[in-house]
Structure 1
């Protein structure tokens, strides 16, 4: 790697020549205009680059470890197989920034603008994104252990297969975002504001979301075993095929929620609003629905054996072909049991022989 001075670097940038195999380690590049350039195998370690601009530049196999890029302009820049660990990128402009197979472990993006930024198969372990702007941010197959996401708003963002179980999520809000297969097990997130977002196949075992705002979220296939959703606001939320054994949703609002094929064994819904909820084929063995609002709720084909319905509110609540071993439902209540015509329709197959007309 050849040592290079700032004057040589700027001459190459001015002539639109690629910068390759150069060492600028420790050079002061504060405020330098390095936009639209191509850098390959360049060493920027320890450089002072506050306010520098790498807008629309391509950086491949470069090293920035320990550099200062506070307030830098990284708009449209692309990092490929590069390393920028322990770098200060706070308050930087990273709109449309792209990182592929690159490392930012321990770096600070605090209060940075990460609008439409993409981190693909990269590492942000221990990085600090506190207070950053995360509109349409994508973190895909990127390491996030011990990441600081405090006071950050994920808006229309995508996070896939991230481990956030040890992340700092204090004050982190999630709105209209996709958090697919993320790991949040054991997190203490009481009062969290997560709305209109997707948590498909997420690991939320043992998480505390008591009092959280979860309206119109999707937890399809998610793990919520031993989770605390006491007094959560989760109207119009999907829990299809989710695992919710021993989950506590007491006093929560699950108006028009859908629990089809969910595992709800030993779950608690005491005093919960399940009005117009659909629990088709849900396994609710020994679950507690004591004092719950079950008006127009639908338990068709569910297994509620051993469940507690003491003091529940009823109004055309459906138990069509539900398994109810050991369950006492109040006589005279507005409850709908087996519907023969519906059962016949469900059993019909296009392969059935036509009926004989007389």
Structure 2
């Protein structure tokens, strides 16, 4: 009897230790502890893909090599979570809270991140290519070298985010707030930043060739050595911005506000400053459009004395015959 009780006690202790160890590295929601256990996971790694975890609280948990592909994590609490080497491909994280989370080497392609909160989060070696992140909150997030090509960040909050050397070619940043963000060396070619807020952003050596920045706010931004060839800056606010050594070749700056801006050594060949407010407050005059004069109709003069009798219509030789 004593031996049996001792064995039972040892099993209980072992079970408790196993549960604690599992909780340290993988989430253990109450459903795992119900009779039957978890039918879609094993002891070495979580495989909880294509399941409904909506609203689950995994705050502060550590997920290593967890497979959550296609899972529904809408409104989940993942604040301060540590997610390493996991997959969240095609997962639904709409409105989820990842404030202060650390995410490394994790697959997020195809994930829905609309309204997701990444405030002060750290994202390393992450690809969010073509991701859906409308109105997402990345304020204060560390996102160096992140891949965001073609991503939809319309209305996103990126205030103070560190995006150094990020790849954001073709991204949609309409109405996004990137004020005070670190955008040094970011590749934003062909991106759409209509009405975006870039006030006081550090944009040194940023690539914005052929990007659409119309109606955007860039007051106080540092655009030193920025690539803005063929960029659309129509009606943009660049007051007090630093554009030293920037390339503005064939850029559209019609109606832009450049009051107090620094334009030292800019390359402006073919740039259009029509109606723009210059650094000294003067308005740039628009060149008169050249109107091509209509080509007058050519008047054909017909000699009324000519008739069929004195016209050599048949190209006959009418020269006098030799005697």
Q: Same fold (TM over 0.5)?
A: yes
Question: Does structure 2 conserve the Cα–Cα contact (< 8 Å) formed by 1:117 and 1:136?
Answer: no
Q: 2:159 aligns with which of 162, 165, 169?
A: 165
Deviation at 1:258, TM superposition (A): 0.9
Which of residues 141, 147, 150 in structure 2 aligns to 1:156? 150
What residue in structure 2 maps to residue 186 of structure 1?
180
Give the Cα separation in 1 of the matches to 2:223 and 2:39.
Answer: 51
Alignment of 1:1-358 (within 5 A): 22=30, 24=32, 34=40, 51-284=45-278, 286=280, 303-304=283-284, 319-320=285-286, 337-339=287-289, 341=291
**Superposed displacement of residue 33, structure 1:** 5.7
Mark the CA change 1:303 to 1:91 in structure 2 (over 3 Å): closer, same or farther: same
5+ long unaligned stretches in structure 1: 6-20, 36-47, 288-301, 305-318, 321-336, 343-358
Whole-Å Cα distance in 1 between the matches of residues 216 and 81 of structure 2? 35
Residue of structure 2 equivalent to 1:298:
none
Please give the alpha-carbon distance, in whole angstroms, between the structure 2 residues aligned to 1:160 and 1:127: 19
**Aligned-pair distance for 1:96?**
1.2
- Structure 2 distance, partners of 1:280, 1:33, is 67
Q: How far does residue 280 in structure 1 lie from its aligned partner after superposition? A: 3.1
CA offset at residue 51 of structure 1? 2.9
Q: Deviations over 1:3-60 (max 9, x none)?
A: xx9xxxxxxxxxxxxxxx94558xxx9xx6638xxxxxxxxxxxx9873122222222
Report how many residues are paired. 262
2:24 maps to which residue?
Answer: none
Q: Deviations over 1:62-97 (max 9, x none)?
A: 222232221111222122232222222222112211
Q: Distance in 2 between matches of 1:116 and 1:68?
A: 22
1:341 is displaced (CA, Å) by 4.8
Q: Which sections of structure 2, spanning at least 5 residues, go unmatched?
A: 1-14, 16-28, 293-323
Contact kept? 2:220, 2:239, Cα under 8 Å: yes
Q: Distance in 2 between matches of 1:108 and 1:67?
A: 11
Structure label with greater radius of gyration: 2
State how far apart, in whole Å, the 1-side matches of 2:257 and 2:115 are.
33
1:340–1:168 distance in 2 versus 1, CA, 3 Å? closer
Give the Cα separation in 2 of the matches to 1:338 and 1:179: 35
